Structure 1
Amino acid sequence: MKDVTQIEIPLSRLQMILLLIGALSLTILGLLLIFFEPESINHSSRHSWIMRPIPRFLAGLFFVIFFGFTLIMMMIRLFNKNPGLIINEKGIYDNSSAFALGFIPWKDIKDIKIVNINNGKFILIVLRNPIDYLNKTTQWLKLRVLKMNYRYHGTPICLSANSLQIEATNLYSLLAEKRKEYKVQSY
């Protein structure tokens, strides 16, 4: 049974559909680069680097692998009925991205900040022991992204409200209010 004090913030289906369309388009572009000769794509100059077979194949392969993976992830997330973020008296359950850490108890949260990064607003969940969370992560790519977040922002957890059905400022206010409500003080 769901806790009555629990707040569930769903994932933004529109955002996922837009990402899915973009990933599909770029995966198809990658396939075109791999399987079609330059004459069948365009009659542009043969001096372009992309018209040479090896760079064209490598670029196409990158597009197919990276955006194909993104396409698969977006399809899985689109049909996933779990909310993107759950807030309750125990803590926060983050399912907002492929690099989410899952459950974060209030006692592990040192601070919550809102910052602008590249013209986008992000919520930083500053942890008391961020290294413990990094050490628990076993997926190679996820660990690299979390370490990069930690190096540049001082915390591995950077929430983007773009993937959620809530504005960043409203999410920040809600998290700060709930943290205060559950009487977790920084020390």
Structure 2
Amino acid sequence: MTAPGARIALGEVVAPQGLDGSLRVYPSMDAPQRLVKMGTVFLEPPGQPAQARRVLAVRVQGELVILRLEGVEDRTAAERLRGARLWVPPAALPPLPEGEYYWFQLIGLRVRDRKTGGVVGTVVHVLRTRGVHDVLEVQLDQGGSALVPALKAVIPRVDLAAGELEVDPLPGLWEAGRPGGEEE
């Protein structure tokens, strides 16, 4: 559950794209093509209040998203938005298929070891990778942190209502992340 007034970061405008007002956006969300389903996003230029803008077009280009927003008609207008942040309230996000989660939903979940049944830590960050899957950073209760691949075989259960997920740890996973643990 998210706090009232919570904002879900979608990305940051890094540059204009072309002459038609398109924006190059570095996404801070997985599956940025979902932006088009949101319909409206909040655009917050540095030092200015946020404004709701209708999404006109979205395309993914490498690691960036090329985004057209209502009211941004030319390169000059797009240039003024460099550094602007894009966000939505959590309720604006489209529903996901069963078994899929938004990153913000995972942060703060307690991590339970499937083998021992005990809680070992808390998810503090989701790392984007260029690989097939993301990685959860878990702050361990005993100190240190561990990186857990976001794979169904490793994370067989996520229970948002209970505020926890279950990890079937690879051998040595928890020990490697603790101070004085295994070195690579």
TM over 0.5: no
Larger Cα-atom Rg: 1
TM-score (ref. length: structure 1): 0.26
More strand by share: 2
Q: Give the number of the structure with larger relative contact order, counting CA–CA contacts within 8 Å between residues 6 or more apart.
A: 1
